[in-house]
Amino acid sequence: MVPTNSALRSDDIRRGNEKLVLHLIQKQGAVSQSEIVDQTGLKAPTILRIFTNLKDSGLIRLAGTDGNRPSDKKGRKPVYYSLNPDALYVVGVEFWAASLTVVICNFLGKPVYSGSFPLDRGLPGTQVLDKIEGLIRSSLKEVSLTTEKIMGLGIGAPGRVDTEKGIIQFYSRINELNNMNLKAHFEERLDIETIVHNNTSVMAMHQYKVSGLHAPQNLFAILLRGGVGGAYINEGKVVTSGKITSFEIGHLSVDPKGRECQCGWRGCLETYLSEEAILQDMEDRGAGKVDIPALDSLLDEYESDRGRLVRQVLDEKAVFLAYAMKNISNLLSPENFLIISRSQPLSDYLSARVEKILRDYPPYPEETNPRLIPCLYDPHHAGMGACDLVFHNYFQTTCAPLDQD
């Protein structure tokens, strides 16, 4: 038994060291072997062997002798290596009741394909998954890739998700989707390792990166769409509870005597701040039929009665949102709130109003109120966030670098 365990440990060490080197190359763009020795503490022969293996397997390639950086070392210039963009690819999918998005990225994380497609209302869960599979296959065909070149599939799914098992535990807007195992389904159909997370989380992770936030900063994302989704990014990592995406803030009650929610409770946040609730309240107030694209211009109509009614409704919505955010702040103390919607003016308006409301509250327990970042929901970015799931899983290492020499 001892030799077997030793062999397994040796294999684990080798794979861990290779992933560590790949991760450093991915982060820095191009590195030399001597730089990796300095950064990891691994011996030069070990690094030489790792680079040889990675080059022979096609995962890295020569990047010249300057690495796009100056060198003060005398003598022969070091040789730099970068990831081979065509070595492997990643597929990211993000979907909800109205649409789905497919993004394909190369090994450098650069998109080579992106497409968004409508979903018919009332389509049952099994047919939604069939449609996703069909669009993945057609997207791969469009860029001349086979599933053998795909190192992983990341899915940003709606609702409450068990990230360990890849199961959607609850989502009310697609029939028959509850308790469906997406991970098992797509791994069986496509033979691609699949990672499933909540769609608000994947969007939050992508925005965390592009907003220039870095650990130890944290961020709470609020997505206003079919419902109200929440995700908490703490020091660059998605926070879950027992592997479950548990920030169901759409069912956070902001008024115990308020509107009846489909969950059976009253005054849930999504009964006031889902897209349907916002637009219906505008119509009931006398603003006529309003859709999300129309908000972009209506919020600029300061002189018209219709524009005034729209802003009046949103002012009331901002109060509910501020109450929810204050409760979240008391629990988690996020430094940043990301307000995401399918209308940039809507995100801007609600963020500005909530910020003003929060200034009237004492900041306890925080020293200052959190920063609010308004954000437009971009399906391409959502798909990129789903791809990020795969890259994070692929490059992560579970132990410190160890030499086998």
In the chain, the domains with their CATH numbers are: 2-84 (1.10.10.10), 89-202+383-392 (3.30.420.40), 212-377 (3.30.420.40)
Neighbouring CB atoms inside 10 A of 37's CB total: 16
pLDDT mean over 373-380: 94
pLDDT mean over 96-114: 96
CB 229 within 8 A of CB 199: yes
State yes or no: pLDDT of 399 exceeds 70: no
Report residue 259: phi and psi, to 5°: -65, 145
Neighbouring CB atoms inside 10 A of 370's CB total: 21
Q: 77-104: b or e for each residue (b if 16 or more CB lie within 10 Å)?
A: ebebbbbbeebbbbbbbbbbbeebbbbb
CA distances (Å), origin 138, targets 99, 144, 328, 391: 17, 10, 42, 22
State yes or no: pLDDT of 154 exceeds 50: yes
Look at residue 172 in the predicted model and tell me its pLDDT.
83
Q: How confident is the model at residue 238 (pLDDT cuts 50, 70, 90)?
A: confident
Percentage of residues in the chain with pLDDT exceeding 90? 69
Look at residue 222 in the predicted model and tell me its pLDDT.
97
Look at residue 302 in the predicted model and tell me its pLDDT.
87
CB 384 within 8 A of CB 405: no
Q: What is the CA radius of gyration of the chain?
A: 24
pLDDT mean over 234-253: 85
User: Which of 1-15, 17-31, 90-104, 230-244 is predicted with the least confidence, judged by mean pLDDT?
Assistant: 1-15
What is the rounded CA–CA span in Å between residue 361 and residue 364? 9
**Is pTM, for the whole model, over 0.75?**
yes
Q: How confident is the model at residue 253 (pLDDT cuts 50, 70, 90)?
A: very high
**Cα dihedral sign for 196, 202, 205, 206?**
positive
- Please give the structure tokens belonging to residue 355: 């910020």
State yes or no: pLDDT of 3 exceeds 50: no
Look at residue 1 in the predicted model and tell me its pLDDT.
36
Higher pLDDT, 207 or 269: 269
State yes or no: pLDDT of 72 exceeds 60: no
What is the rounded CA–CA span in Å between residue 295 and residue 283? 13
Look at residue 369 in the predicted model and tell me its pLDDT.
81
Q: Model confidence over 195-214: pLDDT tens digits?
A: 999 999 999 988 888 877 66
Look at residue 405 in the predicted model and tell me its pLDDT.
55
Report residue 155: phi and psi, to 5°: -125, 125
Higher pLDDT, 363 or 121: 121
**Helix H segments across 148-274?**
182-190, 199-210, 270-273
The candidate with the shortest Cα–Cα distance to 131, out of 186, 188, 197, 53, is 186
Look at residue 392 in the predicted model and tell me its pLDDT.
87
- At residue 399, the 3 state secondary structure works out as coil
Look at residue 294 in the predicted model and tell me its pLDDT.
93
Report residue 219: phi and psi, to 5°: -150, 135
Tell me how far the alpha carbon of residue 196 is from its chain's centroid.
Answer: 11
Look at residue 8 in the predicted model and tell me its pLDDT.
47
State yes or no: pLDDT of 170 exceeds 80: yes
The burial of 243, by beta-carbon neighbours within 10 Å (0-12 exposed, 13-18 middle, 19 or more buried), is given as exposed
State yes or no: pLDDT of 140 exceeds 50: yes
Neighbouring CB atoms inside 10 A of 145's CB total: 18
CA distances (Å), origin 315, targets 219, 295, 336: 24, 14, 21
End-to-end CA distance of the chain: 22
Look at residue 243 in the predicted model and tell me its pLDDT.
83
What is the rounded CA–CA span in Å between residue 286 and residue 312? 11
